[in-house]
C-alpha cells in the first residue's frame, strides 16, 4: 500500500511555481499546483493570493482558464511562415500575438516530414496550422512546430481597381487601406483585357529604383460598375471561396428529400420559425406548452427543432469538404456567401411552412422560475405551422394580429412568450455580460448603393429566440459531455490582465472603480454599465468594455463561456451556416444512436482541435470582410459630401491621431495628429487622450466633436476628417464657439509651413554634408 505524500506547511517559491508551469503540459490551475506541492487546505487561499500577485507582476498569465508563463503558446497554433534559419528550416510566428503585452512574437521552427509529398510541404509566406511544443532555446527559437495543414498560400498579388489611361495601360487603385496613396502602374500590353473600373488581381514586378512599381493584370474579378460590386472587393481580398466546385453542386443536386424512416413524427406539433423579414433560410423552429405533468406547477416544455443538415452533408463528402473550407456563411449587406449550396440551405434544409422537413429537436422541461429540469434529443420529421418575422410576432403579442398570426396567438405565440418570461428569471440570476450597443443596419437601393443607415428596434421577439437557442446549445453540450463524446465547444475566455489594467485606467478617469482582486465575473462589468446608464458616456463605456473582452472562439477543450456566464456551451442551432454546429449534430447522432451518419470514430479530440482552429480562423476572416464592406459602402455614401461637417465622438486614440465615429451613420474616420490643431499634440496613454504640449488642450476618448470630411476613399473604405471643435482645458470643455473653418485653414497652413521649413532645413544639411564629403574625396585622391 503506497504512503500518502506528506503535506507541506509552507508555500512554494515563485521560481518553483514558474518551473512547474513551464514543465507541465495540460491544465494548470490552483488545484493542480496545490496537489503538486502537497499543500494543506489552509494554504490554498495564500496560494491564490500569491498567484494573483504573480499575475499582477506579469510573471504568469491566465488564458483559457489555465495558468501560463507570459507569452506561452497553446498546443495548436495558426501561424505565418516568415523566414528561414541558417540551416534552411522554416520559421513561423503566431497569426495572433499581443506585442504590447508580451513583446516580439515567439519564433516557431517547423519540422518537415521527409515523407511529405510535393505540395504538402509548407513554404515561405504560407499560413499554416501547427502542433507546437516548447524546446530548448536555439538561436532565439524556443518552439518546434509540426505541420497539421496548410491553410493558405501567400498572396503574391495586389487586389485593386483598374483605371485605364488614354493610349493604353493604366494605374491600379489598391483596395488595402495600408496602400492608400501608393501608385501601381500597368504598362501597355499588361492590361490582361481589363476595362476601366474593373476589379483586378495584379502580379507586382520588382520595383525599379525610380518611379512607381509596375504590375501585370493576371485576373479580372468583375466590374465595380455592376450591382453588388462592393462585397466582391472583400471576397477577393480575403480569398473567401464564393463559387462552389462542380462536384459539390452535383452532390447537392442529387440529394433526395428525407423520409420518415427512422424518425419520430412531429408533423402535428405547431412549430413556427421567427426570423428577420428578409431571411432566405429558416433553420430553427420553436414551440412551447405548459407542463401539465405533476410536480412542475407553472412549468413549461420548450421544443427547439433545427434543420437536419447532417442527413444531407455526410462526413468526407464533397459537400462536407467544401463546408469545412468555408467554415461559415458570410453575410454582406448586398449578398450572402453561403457555406452550403442553395439546394441544401434554401430548399431541403429550410423549414418552410406546410412542408415536411427533417430536423434534430430538443425538448426541454423548465420550472416556473426558468430553471431547466431535464431535456431529451429527438430525430424527427416536422412541418412548420408558419413563417413569422420578428416584428410580426411582436405585433401579435402587442394586440396587432394579422391573417397569419391571428389563429396562432392563443395556441402558439402566448405560450412561447410565457415560457420566455420564465427564462428571463434565470437569465437575471445568471447575469451574463449585458452590453447595450445598438447594431446599425445598412439599407440598400436597387443599384446596391446605400439608401440609409438604420438602428433596428430590439424586440422581445429577438430576445425570446436568443434565450431559446442558448438553452438548446447548453443542452447539447451537457448531453455530449455526459456521453463522453468529443465535441467542439463555443468558448469565451475572461479578459486578459493587460486589457483589465487598461480598462481600469480608463474607468479611473470617469471615477468608476474596478476591483483588482477577487474572482472575475460578468456582474462586475454589468455594475459598471449600470453606473453609466442614460449618461452621455454610456455608449462609450459599453464600447470600451467590449474591447476589453477576449474574442469568442471554437475549441475542443472546454474552458467555459465568460460572457454568457456558462460552464459549458456549444453551437447547435445553425448547421446551415456554421460548420461547428454540424459537428455538434453529428456528435449527438453518434452519442444517442440516432443514425449511421454521426461523427466518425476517428474524429477524436486531436482531430476536432484542428477543425476548431480552422473554423475559428474562417470566422475571423468573415468578420473582417463584413466590417470592411460596411466601411466601403459608407465611404461611397459619403464621398459626395466632402467639405460637410458632422457630429461625432472620439472612438479611439493612438499616437498617430484620433478615430472619430459619426453619430449619423456610425462610420469611422481618422484625424491625423498633424491636423488636430496648431499645437504639437502628444499621446497620453494613461488618459486615453492627445494633449497639446504648449496649450494643454486635449482630446480624450469619448469626447463629442465636430469634424469636417476632407477625404473619402470608397475602394479602401477610408475616411479622413479635420477637427472643427475645440478640446478640453484643465478637464473642462471650453464654452467658446468651436474652431471655425478659418481656424482649421490656419492650422493647415501652419502645419504646411512648418513642414516646408523642416524640409528646407534637411535639404540644406544634406547639401552641406555632400559638399563636405566631396572635399574629403578630393583630399583622399
pLDDT digits (tens, 9 = 90+) for 222-231: 777 765 778 8
Looking at residue 771, its pLDDT comes to 42
CB-based contacts of 690, cutoff 8 Å, min separation 6 = 653, 657, 658, 673, 676, 681, 682, 683, 684, 698, 699
Pairwise CA distance, residues 582 & 574, whole Å: 8
pLDDT digits (tens, 9 = 90+) for 418-469: 999 999 999 989 999 999 888 888 998 888 888 889 888 999 999 999 999 9
Residue 136's pLDDT band, with cuts at 50, 70 and 90, is confident
Does position 31 have pLDDT exceeding 50, yes or no?
yes
Residue 14's pLDDT band, with cuts at 50, 70 and 90, is confident
Please list the residues that pair with 81 across neighbouring strands: 92
Segment of 190-204, 316-330, 515-529, 767-781 carrying the highest mean pLDDT: 316-330
Looking at residue 688, its pLDDT comes to 82
Mean pLDDT check: name the lowest of 3-7, 316-320, 507-511, 734-738.
Answer: 734-738
Residue 197's pLDDT band, with cuts at 50, 70 and 90, is confident
**Mean pLDDT along residues 461-490:** 97
Of 365, 265, 363, nearest to 305 (Cα)? 363
Please list the residues that pair with 662 across neighbouring strands: 648
Does position 736 have pLDDT exceeding 70, yes or no?
no
Please state, for a pLDDT cut of 70, what percent of the chain lies above it: 85
Looking at residue 611, its pLDDT comes to 94
Residue 337's pLDDT band, with cuts at 50, 70 and 90, is very high
Q: Which ranges in 509-665 belong to alpha helices (H)?
A: 522-531, 538-548, 579-592, 605-638
**Mean pLDDT along residues 394-419:** 97
Residue 63's pLDDT band, with cuts at 50, 70 and 90, is low
pLDDT digits (tens, 9 = 90+) for 91-106: 898 887 776 666 778 8
**Mean pLDDT along residues 599-613:** 91
**pTM of the full structure:** 0.79
More confident of the two residues 143 and 380: 380
Q: In terms of C-beta distances under 8 Å and separation of at least 24 residues, what long-range contacts does 22-28 make, across chains too?
A: 22/69, 22/134, 25/75, 27/65, 27/66, 28/66, 28/67, 28/68
CA 10 to each of CA 39, 42, 51, 234: distance values in angstroms, whole numbers, following the listed order:
8, 10, 15, 58
Whether 573 and 473 have beta carbons less than 8 Å apart is answered as yes
Whether 549 and 498 have beta carbons less than 8 Å apart is answered as no
Looking at residue 18, its pLDDT comes to 74
Whether 66 and 27 have beta carbons less than 8 Å apart is answered as yes
**Mean pLDDT along residues 55-81:** 68
**Mean pLDDT along residues 358-379:** 97
Does position 721 have pLDDT exceeding 80, yes or no?
yes
Looking at residue 775, its pLDDT comes to 40
**Mean pLDDT along residues 267-272:** 98
CA 213 to each of CA 80, 171, 203, 205, 206: distance values in angstroms, whole numbers, following the listed order:
26, 10, 11, 7, 7
Q: Rounded mean pLDDT of the chain?
A: 85
554 burial via Cβ count (<10 Å: 0-12, 13-18, 19+): buried
Looking at residue 154, its pLDDT comes to 65
pLDDT digits (tens, 9 = 90+) for 571-604: 999 999 999 999 999 999 999 999 999 999 888 9
Could you give the dihedral angle defined by the CA atoms of residues 599, 601, 606 and 610, in that order, rounded to the nearest 10 degrees?
-40
Looking at residue 768, its pLDDT comes to 45
Looking at residue 102, its pLDDT comes to 67
Written as nine digits, the cell of 148 is 497539421
Cα atoms found within 13 Å of the Cα of residue 70, Cβ hemisphere only: 17
Pairwise CA distance, residues 492 & 64, whole Å: 8
Largest CA-CA distance found in the chain, in angstroms, rounded: 109
Pairwise CA distance, residues 485 & 483, whole Å: 5
Looking at residue 498, its pLDDT comes to 82
pLDDT digits (tens, 9 = 90+) for 535-559: 888 888 898 899 899 999 999 999 9
Please list the residues that pair with 94 across neighbouring strands: 79
Does position 505 have pLDDT exceeding 80, yes or no?
yes
Whether 265 and 381 have beta carbons less than 8 Å apart is answered as yes
Whether 91 and 83 have beta carbons less than 8 Å apart is answered as yes
Whether 731 and 698 have beta carbons less than 8 Å apart is answered as no
Mean pLDDT check: name the lowest of 8-17, 368-377, 398-407, 699-708.
Answer: 8-17
Could you give the dihedral angle defined by the CA atoms of residues 506, 507, 511 and 515, in that order, rounded to the nearest 10 degrees?
-130
Residue 203's pLDDT band, with cuts at 50, 70 and 90, is confident
Does position 718 have pLDDT exceeding 50, yes or no?
yes
Mean pLDDT check: name the lowest of 200-214, 219-233, 327-341, 519-533.
Answer: 200-214
Residue 499's pLDDT band, with cuts at 50, 70 and 90, is confident
Looking at residue 288, its pLDDT comes to 98
More confident of the two residues 781 and 414: 414
Looking at residue 134, its pLDDT comes to 83
Looking at residue 716, its pLDDT comes to 87
Q: Which residue has the cell 476589379?
A: 199
Pairwise CA distance, residues 773 & 407, whole Å: 94
Pairwise CA distance, residues 611 & 78, whole Å: 11
Angle between helices 538-548 and 497-508 (to 10 degrees): 160
Element (H, E) at 753: helix 741-780
Looking at residue 492, its pLDDT comes to 95
Amino acid at each position: 500500500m503506497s504512503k500518502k505524500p506528506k503535506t507541506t506547511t509552507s508555500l512554494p517559491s515563485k521560481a518553483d511555481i514558474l518551473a512547474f508551469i513551464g514543465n507541465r503540459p495540460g491544465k494548470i490551475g490552483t488545484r493542480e499546483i496545490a496537489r503538486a506541492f502537497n499543500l494543506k487546505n489552509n494554504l490554498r487561499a495564500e496560494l491564490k493570493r500569491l498567484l494573483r500577485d504573480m499575475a499582477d507582476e506579469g510573471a504568469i498569465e491566465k488564458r483559457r482558464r489555465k495558468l501560463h508563463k507570459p507569452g506561452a503558446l497553446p498546443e495548436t497554433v495558426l501561424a505565418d511562415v516568415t523566414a528561414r534559419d541558417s540551416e534552411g528550416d522554416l520559421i513561423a510566428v503566431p497569426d495572433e500575438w499581443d506585442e504590447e503585452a508580451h513583446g516580439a512574437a515567439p519564433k516557431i521552427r517547423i519540422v518537415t516530414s521527409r515523407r511529405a509529398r510535393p505540395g504538402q510541404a509548407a513554404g515561405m509566406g504560407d499560413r499554416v496550422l501547427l502542433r507546437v511544443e516548447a524546446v530548448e532555446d536555439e538561436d532565439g527559437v524556443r518552439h518546434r512546430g509540426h505541420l497539421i495543414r496548410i491553410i493558405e498560400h501567400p498572396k503574391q498579388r495586389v487586389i485593386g481597381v483598374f483605371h485605364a489611361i488614354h493610349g493604353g495601360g493604366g494605374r491600379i487603385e489598391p483596395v488595402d487601406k495600408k496602400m492608400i496613396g501608393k501608385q501601381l502602374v500597368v504598362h501597355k500590353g499588361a492590361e490582361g483585357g481589363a476595362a476601366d473600373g474593373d476589379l483586378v488581381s495584379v502580379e507586382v514586378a520588382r520595383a525599379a529604383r525610380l518611379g512607381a512599381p509596375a504590375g501585370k493584370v493576371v485576373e479580372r474579378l468583375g466590374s465595380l460598375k455592376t450591382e453588388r460590386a462592393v462585397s466582391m472587393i472583400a471576397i477577393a481580398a480575403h480569398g473567401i471561396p464564393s463559387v462552389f466546385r462542380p462536384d459539390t453542386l452535383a452532390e447537392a443536386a442529387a440529394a433526395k428529400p428525407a423520409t420518415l424512416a427512422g424518425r419520430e413524427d412531429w408533423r402535428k406539433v405547431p412549430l413556427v420559425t421567427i426570423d428577420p423579414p428578409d431571411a432566405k433560410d429558416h433553420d430553427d423552429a420553436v414551440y412551447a406548452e405548459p407542463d401539465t405533468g405533476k410536480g412542475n406547477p407553472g412549468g413549461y416544455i420548450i421544443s427547439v427543432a433545427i434543420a437536419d443538415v447532417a442527413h444531407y452533408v455526410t462526413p468526407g463528402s464533397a459537400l462536407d469538404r467544401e463546408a469545412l473550407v468555408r467554415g461559415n456563411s458570410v453575410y454582406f449587406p448586398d449578398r450572402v456567401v453561403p457555406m452550403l449550396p442553395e439546394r441544401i440551405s434554401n430548399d431541403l434544409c429550410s423549414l418552410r411552412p406546410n412542408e415536411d422537413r427533417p430536423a434534430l429537436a430538443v425538448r426541454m422541461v423548465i420550472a416556473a422560475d426558468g430553471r431547466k429540469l431535464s431535456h431529451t434529443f429527438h430525430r424527427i420529421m416536422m412541418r412548420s405551422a408558419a413563417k413569422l418575422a420578428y416584428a410580426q410576432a411582436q405585433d401579435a403579442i402587442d394586440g396587432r394580429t394579422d391573417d397569419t398570426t391571428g389563429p396562432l396567438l392563443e395556441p402558439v405565440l402566448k405560450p412561447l412568450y410565457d415560457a420566455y418570461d420564465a427564462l428571463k428569471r434565470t437569465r437575471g440570476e445568471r447575469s451574463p455580460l449585458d452590453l447595450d450597443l445598438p447594431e446599425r443596419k445598412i439599407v440598400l437601393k436597387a443599384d446596391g448603393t446605400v439608401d440609409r443607415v438604420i438602428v433596428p428596434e430590439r424586440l422581445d421577439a429577438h430576445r425570446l429566440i436568443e434565450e431559446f437557442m442558448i438553452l438548446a446549445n447548453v443542452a447539447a453540450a451537457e448531453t455530449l459531455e455526459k456521453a463522453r463524446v468529443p465535441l467542439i465547444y463555443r468558448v469565451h475566455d475572461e479578459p486578459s490582465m493587460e486589457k483589465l489594467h487598461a480598462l481600469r485606467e480608463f474607468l479611473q478617469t470617469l471615477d468608476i472603480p474596478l476591483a483588482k482582486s477577487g474572482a472575475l465575473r460578468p456582474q462586475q462589468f454589468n455594475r459598471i454599465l449600470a453606473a453609466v446608464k442614460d449618461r452621455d458616456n454610456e455608449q462609450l463605456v459599453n464600447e470600451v468594455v467590449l474591447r476589453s473582452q477576449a474574442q469568442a472562439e471554437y475549441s475542443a477543450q472546454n474552458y467555459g463561456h465568460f460572457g454568457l456566464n456558462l460552464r459549458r456551451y456549444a453551437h447547435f442551432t445553425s448547421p446551415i451556416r456554421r460548420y461547428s454546429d454540424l459537428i455538434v449534430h453529428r456528435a449527438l447522432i453518434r452519442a444517442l444512436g440516432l443514425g449511421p451518419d454521426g461523427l466518425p470514430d476517428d474524429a477524436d479530440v486531436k482531430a476536432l482541435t484542428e477543425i476548431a482552429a480552422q473554423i475559428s480562423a474562417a470566422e475571423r476572416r468573415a468578420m473582417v470582410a463584413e466590417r470592411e464592406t460596411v466601411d466601403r459602402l459608407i465611404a461611397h455614401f459619403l464621398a459626395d459630401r466632402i467639405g460637410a461637417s458632422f457630429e461625432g465622438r472620439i472612438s479611439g486614440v493612438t499616437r498617430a491621431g484620433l478615430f472619430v465615429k459619426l453619430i449619423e451613420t456610425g462610420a469611422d474616420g481618422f484625424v491625423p495628429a498633424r491636423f488636430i490643431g496648431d499645437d504639437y499634440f502628444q499621446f497620453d496613454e494613461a488618459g486615453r487622450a492627445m494633449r497639446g504640449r504648449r496649450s494643454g488642450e486635449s482630446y480624450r476618448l469619448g469626447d463629442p466633436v465636430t469634424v469636417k470630411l476632407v477625404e473619402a476613399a470608397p475602394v479602401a473604405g477610408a475616411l479622413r476628417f479635420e477637427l472643427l471643435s475645440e478640446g478640453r482645458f484643465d478637464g473642462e470643455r471650453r464654452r467658446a464657439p468651436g474652431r471655425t473653418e478659418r481656424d482649421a485653414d490656419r492650422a493647415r497652413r501652419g502645419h504646411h509651413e512648418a513642414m516646408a521649413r523642416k524640409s528646407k532645413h534637411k535639404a540644406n544639411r544634406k547639401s552641406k554634408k555632400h559638399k563636405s564629403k566631396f572635399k574629403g574625396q578630393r583630399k583622399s585622391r
